[in-house]
Amino acid sequence: MTNETHIELNNETEKQLEYMDLLNKIIREKASAKGRPLTACVVTFGCQMNERDSEKLKGILTRCGYELTDDETADLVLYNTCTVRENANLRLYGRLGHLSGMKKKDHDKIIGICGCMAQEPDVVKKLETSYPFTDIIFGTFNVYKLAEILYSHLTTGSRITDIWESNDTFTELLPTVRKYPFKSGVNIMYGCDNFCTYCIVPYVRGREKSRRPEDIIFEIEQLVKDGVTEVMLLGQNVNSYGKGLKAEVTFAELLRRVEKVVGLKRIRFMTSHPKDLSDELIEVMAASEKICDHIHLPLQSGSTEVLKRMNRKYTKEDYLALVEKIRKAMPDISITTDIIVGFPGESEADFEETLDVVRRVKFDSAYTFIYSKRTGTPAAAYEEQTDEATVKNRFDRLLKEIKNASSEVTGRYTGRTMPCLAESVNDHDPALITGRMSNNMLVHFPGDKSLVGKIVDVKITECKGFYYFGERV
Ligand code: SAH
Ligand code: SF4
Ligand code: F3S
């Protein structure tokens, strides 16, 4: 079966551009009545997928005539939500509580909710009953429809809820506003078919669908023309890229093609599921000039028993062997990971297995999460949920172990000269520039803002654990 129904520049794209023009007129009229430009604030929760969606939302809002701001007192506030763990949801409700007061004072203020939380029917019910001041609600499948939805709201005055269960066409090539002029995320696929038993993503992002390689390359070429030198190829499981395309293409093959884009300097990707990481990918990475020296390889648990109940489809030994294979081909590569603590039924022995993997692999860094029960996922029905005190204790022990293990390896760059992409002026010290090495680690070095966006050689002078200090050479 093929899911190749994607015409990227389709009638829908044209239709949305028309809505943007219509809105632009309305927004300009409102602005002249107020005697100031109308402002819009997009607040993003969650992962890189949402970050990229927010760049699309901002592109649409700008085209509609809004001035972007980070201030939630804006005329329009749009929350692009995440629901991967419960605390992400709680943070949104906290923010909304705060906004209700503002909305009472400013009746014209528009409040919108989109993203992964909006794909959950219970959340939408709660928003409509407990937060009646929300004006537009839409999900993850119709991000590109923001202008149309906003137009309906402004011309009818009623709340618009527009949630889809899936979407088979890609509507790309709409305007975007990038956070960084010199780097960009690029969606290569949407959704996830893995159904890890703890995870809500497949329910809120739908089935896996890959974009055609030629469309991806076209987008990257346009980005490069616009000043981008680094791309991050995005997918929940990039290693299974290409399934369902008419002409099947592997992720490794896609990387080979991206490598050929003239003017592009760095390629990153996220996320790699260990079960689908091929030898072909390792070969392509090792031979590449542009693919960065970093792989994010979520472990989730070191216990084969827990991995089985998580439906991860690899064992502790598989994971260790994979890391060995990757390091053999690329001895300098930085490996980072995600680990969940307190999965239902995780015993002390299971947890010890996770610590053992951490000690053996020596990750450069790791994101650690306390298991969060997500309604509707299989694991939510597992009976043996682990008690809070035990989880907290394991979480602290895990952090310590990660720190110990990584400190043994992260010092390896000290004294070496590494190319760094200068990303910004340092938040705390304006005499420093913050750059990123190929291995994704941050380095702070003396310099001025004229360097931002350039790749410069930096000698690493000091390792601070998860970041470095250096000097330009
Ligand atoms: N597709 C990516 C991860 C997406 S979610 C992958 O498979 O690696 C990012 C991370 O959130 C996951 O790697 C996992 O560690 C964590 N996570 C997902 N669901 C969770 C839950 N219910 N509780 C705690 N952490 C969770
Ligand atoms: Fe969630 Fe697993 Fe899919 Fe990642 S691979 S998004 S953890 S279901
Ligand atoms: Fe969150 Fe949705 Fe990403 S649930 S982690 S924002 S795919």
State the Cα–Cα distance between residues 451 and 424, nearest whole angstrom: 9
- Ligand 1 centroid distance, CA of 338 (Å): 7
Q: Determine whether the shortest distance from the Cβ of 195 to ligand 2 is under 6 A.
A: yes
Q: Determine whether the shortest distance from the Cβ of 82 to ligand 3 is under 6 A.
A: yes
- Ligand 3 centroid distance, CA of 338 (Å): 14
DSSP conformational letter for 375: T
Structure tokens of 238? 């990039």
Q: Determine whether the shortest distance from the Cβ of 243 to ligand 1 is under 6 A.
A: no
Give 385's pLDDT tier (boundaries 50, 70, 90).
Answer: confident
- Ligand 3 centroid distance, CA of 202 (Å): 10
Ligand 2, from 237, 314, 372: best to mutate by most atoms within 8 Å of Cβ? Answer: 237
Give 8's pLDDT tier (boundaries 50, 70, 90).
Answer: low
State the Cα–Cα distance between residues 143 and 108, nearest whole angstrom: 23
For 213-243, b where at least 16 C-beta lie within 10 A, e where not — what string? bebbbbbbeebbeeebbbbbbbbbbbbbbbb
- Ligand 1 centroid distance, CA of 361 (Å): 20
Specify the ligand 1 atom closest to the Cα of 199: 19
State the Cα–Cα distance between residues 107 and 266, nearest whole angstrom: 47
Q: Determine whether the shortest distance from the Cβ of 187 to ligand 1 is under 6 A.
A: no
Please state the pTM of the whole predicted model: 0.95
Specify the ligand 2 atom closest to the Cα of 300: 7
Pairing of strands 455-463, 110-115: unpaired
Q: Determine whether the shortest distance from the Cβ of 82 to ligand 2 is under 6 A.
A: no
Q: Determine whether the shortest distance from the Cβ of 117 to ligand 3 is under 6 A.
A: no
Q: Determine whether the shortest distance from the Cβ of 196 to ligand 2 is under 6 A.
A: yes
Ligand 1, from 234, 354, 369: best to mutate by most atoms within 8 Å of Cβ? Answer: 369
State the Cα–Cα distance between residues 64 and 41, nearest whole angstrom: 13
Give 13's pLDDT tier (boundaries 50, 70, 90).
Answer: confident
Is residue 465 pLDDT above 90, yes or no? no
Structure tokens of 57? 């939302």
- Tens-place pLDDT, residues 182-228: 999 999 999 999 999 999 999 999 999 999 999 999 999 999 999 99
Please name the residue whose Cα sits nearest to atom 3 of ligand 3.
47
- Ligand 1 centroid distance, CA of 340 (Å): 8
- pLDDT, residue 266, reads 98
- Ligand 2 centroid distance, CA of 208 (Å): 11
- Ligand 1 centroid distance, CA of 145 (Å): 28
- Tens-place pLDDT, residues 221-275: 999 999 999 999 999 999 999 998 988 899 999 999 999 999 999 999 999 999 9
Is residue 1 pLDDT above 50, yes or no? no
- Ligand 2 centroid distance, CA of 374 (Å): 13
Q: Determine whether the shortest distance from the Cβ of 272 to ligand 2 is under 6 A.
A: no
Task: State whether residue 4 is helix, strand or coil.
Answer: coil
Ligand nearest to the CA of 369: 1
